[in-house]
Structure 1
C-alpha cells in the first residue's frame, strides 16, 4: 500500500494516500451528502495541459469519506454570507489553518469565517458541495484549499476549477497552489508528488489566464524550509505564514 499524506496534529489517521486529521472541532459538524458532478466547461484548455503527463509512483487515493469533516452550521454559513465574511472550502490543509485564519481576520477586520473542510477530499467532491451551495458564497468571494489529494490523478483537474468558477458567478475565487512532497515516501514517490503538484499548478494558472476572478495564491512558491511538518501540511510557523499570504492576497492586510 502507498504511504499516506499525514497532517501535523496530535492524532492522525493512517489511511492510504489520504490527508486525515481528527482534532477538536471549532464549528459544528453536519453531514454533507455528495451529489453527481455538474456539467463541465465546454471549451478545453490547450492540449499541453490536458495530455497524459502521469509519472508513476504517487500511489492511489485512499478512502477519505471515513475521515471527520468540519462544516459550519447552516445558520453560521448564512450569517457569514450575509456579513460578507470568508467562506473556506478545502481539505486537511484548510482544517489545519482555519482556526488561526478566523482568529486573525476576526481581530483585524471583524470578519467571520465559515468552513467546509474534509481531510483527504479531492477537488471533485469539494466542487460538488460548492455547486450545491453557491448561494452561500459571500460577495467578497470564496477561498479554496484543494488539490493536494489530486496528485494521484491530476489529468483534467482544471475542469473542477472551472466548475467552481462557474458556481462563483463572477465573484472572486482565491485558490492556493499545491505542494505535495511526502517525506516518508521513496525517491520515486517524491518525484511523482512534485511533478504532479507542478502539473496541477500549471493547470490552475492556465485557468486564471481565462478568468480574471480566479486569484492564484502561490503557497507553493512562497514556501520556506520550516513551514511544513511533513512535506505537505503546514507547521505552526507555516500556518501563520499561510494565513498572512492569504490575507495579503485578499487585501485584508497591507
Structure 2
C-alpha cells in the first residue's frame, strides 16, 4: 500500500460531522417520532465521502503525478470490507440459529453485499425501506454502503479521465455538479407518490449527494485553504457555517422521509447545505473545525462506520424479542448501548487491526495460531469462532426457503392478496359470502346487518387496513378502501383530498392509521379540516415492537376528546394479551385476529 501523501491533512472536524450524521440516523431508526428527519444523516455521510475521496485523489495526482488505482482499492478494501463481511456473516448465522423467518433470499443478500450491489437487489425484490413490519431485515440499511462501494469502484477512473480531458478544475466541478443535478432531477421526475423506496435505494437517484461533495473538492481543496484569515473572512466563514448547521438541525427536526418535497429536489438542496458545512469545517481559518473537534465527537466519529453498520442487526434482533412499545426510552437506551459496545469491539479488534494487516500472511497466521506449542490461544479461539460463524452462515444460505418471498412471508402474502381483492371490491359491489353472513348473524342484530349492507363508508389506512380490508368489505359492501403499506398519518390529508376529488369520500370515515409513526396536532388539524363534520372512526394501534405505540394511542385518545365527531375504536385494549390473534410481527392480525378486528369495528360503527 502506498505511503501517506505529504501534503494531506487530517481534518479533525470531520469526525464531528460524522457524529452529527450518525446521531441523526440512529435516532431516526430507534425513536423516529423524536427526529423524523434523521434519515438525512445519510446525505451528510455521502457528501463527506465524496469530498474526502476526491480531495485525496487530486492531492495524489498533484504530488505524485499519477493516481494509483491499486493502492486506492486496497485502502478502501482494508477500511470497509472486513467489518461489512463480519456483520453480514454474523447476522446470517444468528438468523440461521434464532430467526429463520428472515432466511428468505439470504443467499442473494450475502452475495449482493459482497459485491456492493445490495441496493439493486432490494429494488429488484421490491423491498420497502418504509414498511416496518412483516420480517423487517437487519440488512435494510446496507443500501447506502453499496452505493458508496459502487462510487469507490468507478470514481478514481473517472477522476483520471476528467483530469486528462479538462484542464480547469472549476470546469470539472461544474461538470460533476451537472451530473448531481441530473441525478436529483431524475428523483424528482420519477416520484409520483406512494412508496418511494425505488428512489431511496437507487444509485442513479441518490448519487447526487456524493457528486456534490466531489465537485466541492475541485474548487475547495483542503491543502490550499489558508490557515490565517482576517477577522472579516472568519466571521463570514462562521456565518455560513452557522446557517448551514441550523438548516441541517431544523431539517432533522421537521422533515419526513415520505414528504413529497424531499424527493422534489428537497434532498438535493439539503445536500448543498451539507456541502456548505463540509466546506466551512474543512477551512482551517474558521472556527467550525474547532467546534466539531472534541473527545466525544472524535470517539463517535471514528466509530461511526461500525455504529451505522451494526445498528439494524441490534434493533431488529432486539425488538423481535422485546416489546419496546411500553418502555420506549428505556429500550432505546439499551439498544444504543448495545450498538456502541459492539461498535467499540469491532473498531478495536477488527477494523483497526485489519486495516493494517498484511493479508499475504493470512495462511501463516492461521497455521501459527493452531500449532500445538503456540502461545496464541486468544487468536486460536477467535479464528475458531470465526470459522464456526462462517459455517453456520453458509448452512443458513443452503437452508434458504425455495418459495418466493411473498409466500415465505405470510404478512406480505396476505396483504398482496387482499390489496388485489380490495381493488376489485372498490370497482364493484362486494357481496358477503354465506360464511360471513352466518358470522354476522351471530355477532350483529338483523337491523345492524341491514344497516351495514347499505352504509356508504370510506376506509383509509396503512398495512393493518390492507391486511383486514376484504373482511371489512364483506360486512360493509359499500366501503371504499384506500390502504397503503408504510403510510403515515401526515400523508392522510392528501389522501383524503384525492378521495374527495374523486367522489369516494363518504360521510362516514374509518381511519386505521398510526402503525408506522406518531403524529402531531397540526397533522390532526389538517385531517379534520378535510373531513369537516363527517363521522370519523379511528382505530388505535397495537405495535408493541415500536417505540411510538403509546404516544400514537394517546394522540388518538386526545383527538377523540377534542373533536366530538371522532370516535375511538380501542383495538389496542381489545387485542392486548392475545398474541394468537397476530402474525409473528405482533402487529398484523392473522385470520383469527382479522375476525376479531372486523367484529370490533362493526360493533362500534353500527351501535
Q: Does 1:222 align with 2:585?
A: no
Give the equivalent residue in structure 2 for 1:163. 526
Which structure dedicates a bigger proportion of its chain to strand? 1
Give the equivalent residue in structure 1 for 2:550. 198
Residue of 123, 127, 139 corresponding to 2:489: 123
Count, aligned residues: 190
Give, in angstroms, the shift of residue 210 of structure 1. Answer: 1.4
Give, in angstroms, the shift of residue 163 of structure 1. Answer: 1.9
Once the two structures are superposed, what CA deviation does each residue of 1:122-171 show, in whole Å capped at 9, x if it has no partner?
Answer: 111233111333353212x1111111101xxx3x5343232222211201
Secondary structure of residue in 2 paired with 1:226: helix
Give the equivalent residue in structure 2 for 1:185. none
The separation in 2 between residues aligned to 1:85 and 1:168, in whole angstroms, is 15
The separation in 2 between residues aligned to 1:176 and 1:142, in whole angstroms, is 11
The separation in 2 between residues aligned to 1:14 and 1:197, in whole angstroms, is 24
2:480 and 2:504 in contact (8 A); partners too: no
Return 5+ residue gaps in structure 2 as ranges. Answer: 1-25, 31-100, 105-124, 135-190, 195-258, 262-326, 337-414, 429-453
Give, in angstroms, the shift of residue 212 of structure 1. Answer: 0.8
Matches within 5 A, 1:51-70: 55=329, 56=332
Q: How does the TM-score come out when normalised to structure 1?
A: 0.62
1:161 and 1:204 in contact (8 A); partners too: no
The separation in 1 between residues aligned to 2:192 and 2:505, in whole angstroms, is 16
Secondary structure of residue in 2 paired with 1:175: strand
Give, in angstroms, the shift of residue 113 of structure 1. Answer: 1.9
Residue of 142, 146, 151 corresponding to 2:509: 142
Residue of 453, 468, 475 corresponding to 1:97: 468
Q: Does 1:242 align with 2:594?
A: no
Moved over 6 A (4+): 34-37, 67-71
The separation in 1 between residues aligned to 2:460 and 2:492, in whole angstroms, is 7
2:133 and 2:587 in contact (8 A); partners too: no
Give, in angstroms, the shift of residue 240 of structure 1. Answer: 0.4
The separation in 1 between residues aligned to 2:455 and 2:540, in whole angstroms, is 24
Give the equivalent residue in structure 1 for 2:539. 176
The separation in 1 between residues aligned to 2:132 and 2:465, in whole angstroms, is 11
The structure number with the bigger radius of gyration is 2
1:122 and 1:147 in contact (8 A); partners too: yes
Give, in angstroms, the shift of residue 208 of structure 1. Answer: 1.2
Which structure dedicates a bigger proportion of its chain to helix? 2
2:193 and 2:260 in contact (8 A); partners too: no
Whose RCO is larger (CA < 8 A, sep 6+)? 1
Give the equivalent residue in structure 2 for 1:18. 131
Q: How does the TM-score come out when normalised to structure 2?
A: 0.28
Compared with structure 1, are the counterparts of its residues 238 and 199 closer, same or farther at alpha carbon in structure 2 (3 Å cutoff)?
Answer: same
Compared with structure 1, are the counterparts of its residues 199 and 246 closer, same or farther at alpha carbon in structure 2 (3 Å cutoff)?
Answer: same
Give, in angstroms, the shift of residue 225 of structure 1. Answer: 2.9
1:227 and 1:235 in contact (8 A); partners too: yes
2:461 and 2:512 in contact (8 A); partners too: yes
2:458 and 2:505 in contact (8 A); partners too: yes
What's the C-alpha RMSD, in Å, of the aligned pairs?
A: 3.9
